[in-house]
Structure 1
Amino acid sequence: MAAALRKILTFGSMLLPYGVHELRRRHKQRIRLSEPILQALKANQDLAGCHEGQRCFILANGPSVKALDLTVLEGETVISVSNGYLHADFMCFAPKYHVVPQITYGTMTEDQVARWFAEMDESLGEAELFLNETEAGIVSERKLFVGRKVRYVALRTNFDDVSDTSMIDIAKPIPRIDSVPVLALMIAMHMGFKNIVLLGVDHDSWRSGFYKYAFDLKTQADTDFSVTSDGKILSPNYDTFQSLARLWRQYRRLGMIASANGVRIINGGIGGELDEFERVPLNLLLSQDKVQ
């Protein structure tokens, strides 16, 4: 009865303004995965537990990062995201992995995406790249990321349908996300990291009304139509809060999965509104290493 009611409420919510984009995405998910994508997902089985028991840092792009000395990450396993290659001292800590969420075409044209990917490729060093399967076509057709290891995930299912605390397997279709750190967390947990430290995962733009980064965008500047050229958010609070509610549910579910599987997720950033994980400042975290 409860499950049936949840499905009815979920469908009803899709009729509201904030659910229009979700309806479109769900329609696309009915398309069967191609054989090459299925094989690409299968290849992700090789990553399961490859960093068993280790620590990684997921470096997001919130403005709080500007107050951090990122050079201390040299020698650590770092997972950067989206435009993160624009961070100061990026090549000093040279991320091992870089994660990009599904791209919304219409917001960006294929030509803009191709230019962004070319900029990304020139700046990533030797990082292994994760893309959503919807980008496989443009990467193949435009011959992008030649010589770089590119892996694909399939953001196809719904976080609200995840009802247990089993590890999420990125070798299979996985839940859609509302922010790229969620995808990075799923990947990191799949790879067996025992301690995962979040940096720059601020999620506090709803307070100021402006969406800011820790750096100035290059190719992607002025491509986000949900904000003005100076970053002012155009969405009404109703839609913003609905999106935040979905996002917080995703973090909470991942926190439950982590706890059940002996994984520690730490918010090592300065400020921000993410309150789902324990907070340990980066300098204190690293000083504890020296004591040990």
Structure 2
Amino acid sequence: MIKLLKNVVKKNLPLWYLNQPGIIFGYNKKKIKKLKNKFEGQRCFILGNGPSLNKMDLSKLDNESSFAVNGIFYKTEEMGYKPTFYVVEDGAVMNDNKKKINQFKCEYNFFPSIYKKDIKNRENTFFFNMDRSFYEKRSSYFEIPRFSPECSDRIFCGQSVTIVNLQLAYYLGFKEIYLIGMDFNYDIPDSLKIDGHVFESTEDDVNHFHPDYFGKGKKWHDPKLHNVLKSYKMAKLMFELDGRNIYNATEGGKLEIFDRVNYNSLF
């Protein structure tokens, strides 16, 4: 490992290089491998965090498998909803919400292994190998979407944590995926503090279901919806090639790549 670190420094390689398959860096390969196809043939719901989520009756998900991310704990505090699977990808989210993330306990908690030092609560926690090459300009796969059928080896980033969830859902064997709260629309306030691709809010968040989600003082990244769409297209293809489907059950919004279904009609 010392030799590897020296090589990274010498060649000025990105830090994500340390977390590639074949390099031991704290991810739970064997532990995640035991989950493969555990939910084969079942359906699940993947939650986005758009304002439309406030229009959905999340109590209907009490007996369903669901994925949620980042600041979903605001919904738990508001009305008791808690997902089956909880995922955080973004470093800004981790840095701004460490206390709440550590207090939030779900049946399955998935975090990139690079955040292992930040996670004190290890109960039902799975650290995965996150491949960040989508974000790295030096990578041959910069802004080129990929999809991992073997999440115990690695999971690819794709501009949205939803892409991570779709790979996990595929790996776990879910056949029907229903997206809700995926508004696919962002207003960029003039009041934002902008440093490259990093945004810092100076007022309440208008783009998510709760004003504090990326509220005053919190940092987030340029959503780059054109890149998210590329990754969605890849995920859609992967599911369809295997006889599985992704549906959009969001109320409203601008995401039209997936066939739409009415949320309430699913129950």
Equivalence for 1:214? 209
Counterparts of 1:77-156 in structure 2 under 5 Å?
77-87=65-75, 92-104=80-92, 113=95, 116-122=97-103, 124-139=104-119, 144-156=120-132
Equivalence for 1:168? 149
CA RMSD of aligned residues (A): 2.9
Which stretches in structure 1 are left out of the alignment for 5+ residues? 1-25, 227-234, 287-292
**Residues 88, 128 of structure 1: CA spacing in aligned structure 2 closer, same or farther, 3 A cutoff?**
closer
Residue type of the partner of 2:249?
Answer: G
Q: CA deviation at 1:37?
A: 2.4
Q: CA deviation at 1:149?
A: 2.5
Equivalence for 1:37? 26
User: Is the Cα–Cα contact under 8 Å of residues 130 and 152 in structure 1 kept in the other structure?
Assistant: yes
User: Is the Cα–Cα contact under 8 Å of residues 40 and 172 in structure 2 kept in the other structure?
Assistant: yes
SS at match of 1:37: coil
User: Is the Cα–Cα contact under 8 Å of residues 55 and 77 in structure 1 kept in the other structure?
Assistant: yes
**Residues 266, 175 of structure 1: CA spacing in aligned structure 2 closer, same or farther, 3 A cutoff?**
same
Q: Name which of structure 1's ranges 29-38 and 126-135 shifts more when overlaid on structure 2.
A: 29-38
Counterparts of 1:47-58 in structure 2 under 5 Å?
47-58=35-46
- Which runs of at least 4 in structure 1 moved beyond 6 Å after TM superposition? 207-210
Name the structure with the higher helix share.
Answer: 1
**Residues 214, 43 of structure 1: CA spacing in aligned structure 2 closer, same or farther, 3 A cutoff?**
same
Which stretches in structure 2 are left out of the alignment for 5+ residues? 1-12, 134-140, 191-204
Distance 2:82 2:105 in 1: 7
**Residues 37, 256 of structure 1: CA spacing in aligned structure 2 closer, same or farther, 3 A cutoff?**
same
Residue type of the partner of 1:126?
Answer: C
Distance 1:161 1:216 in 2: 31
User: Is the Cα–Cα contact under 8 Å of residues 70 and 89 in structure 1 kept in the other structure?
Assistant: no
Name the structure with the higher strand share.
Answer: 2
Equivalence for 1:68? 56
Residue type of the partner of 1:86?
Answer: Y
**Residues 58, 89 of structure 1: CA spacing in aligned structure 2 closer, same or farther, 3 A cutoff?**
farther
Equivalence for 1:27? 14
Equivalence for 1:59? 47
Q: TM-score, normalized by length of structure 2? A: 0.75
User: Is the Cα–Cα contact under 8 Å of residues 79 and 99 in structure 1 kept in the other structure?
Assistant: yes
**Residues 127, 220 of structure 1: CA spacing in aligned structure 2 closer, same or farther, 3 A cutoff?**
farther
**Residues 48, 90 of structure 1: CA spacing in aligned structure 2 closer, same or farther, 3 A cutoff?**
farther
